[in-house]
Amino acid sequence: MKMQGLLVTVAAFGLMAVVGGQAVAADRQIPTAPADFLSKTSPIKVDEADEATLKEGGKIYTKKCQKCHGETGDGQGSAAGELTIKPTNLSAPGYMASRKDGQLLWITMNGSPNTEMKGFGPGSEQNYSEDDLWKVIAYMRSAFTK
């Protein structure tokens, strides 16, 4: 009888761990940008972007995004292991193609709530312009779209 009680207790703790894990995963949901952002389209068309624009976006990505999102956008950057909520894998098949320009702009400007990702847009500590963020988005689309 004691063994059965022990098994029930162990099973209960296991269930709490699984449910707890799901709660953490639920916190990872990326919020949808407001309508005024979702309607925005990038002024930089990736297939028409010049090398200098993509290079500039790449420099900002390397400086500010790579440590979490990784060199290849896989979410395995040097700081990713230290984060409670892991960075998005930007290079996952279909990920970049399924995101609207305005959604990507909103997240890069404002950060991602309930994660360690802070905003990089105007007025933030980083204070990148909207034009700079569009360059980063163009770079990410060119480098990580699969």
Number of domains in the chain: 2
Q: State mean pLDDT over 11-40.
A: 58
Instruction: Tell whether 72 and 51 lie within a shared domain.
Output: yes
Find, among 73, 72, 76, 99, the residue nearest to 86 by Cα. Answer: 76
Instruction: Tell whether 38 and 82 lie within a shared domain.
Output: yes
Residues in the chain: 146
Instruction: Tell whether 24 and 85 lie within a shared domain.
Output: no
The domain that contains 85 carries what CATH number?
1.10.760.10
- Per-residue pLDDT tens for 80-105? 999 999 999 999 999 999 999 999 99
With contact defined as beta carbons under 8 Å apart, do 57 and 137 qualify?
Answer: yes
Instruction: Tell whether 82 and 20 lie within a shared domain.
Output: no
DSSP symbols for 60-86: HHHHHTHHHH-TTSSS--TTGGG-SSP
Instruction: Tell whether 44 and 85 lie within a shared domain.
Output: yes
- Most distant CA pair in the chain, distance: 74
Q: State mean pLDDT over 36-43.
A: 96
Residue 55 predicted with pLDDT over 80: yes
Indicate yes or no: pTM above 0.85. no
Query: Domain of 10?
Result: 1-30
Instruction: Tell whether 52 and 121 lie within a shared domain.
Output: yes
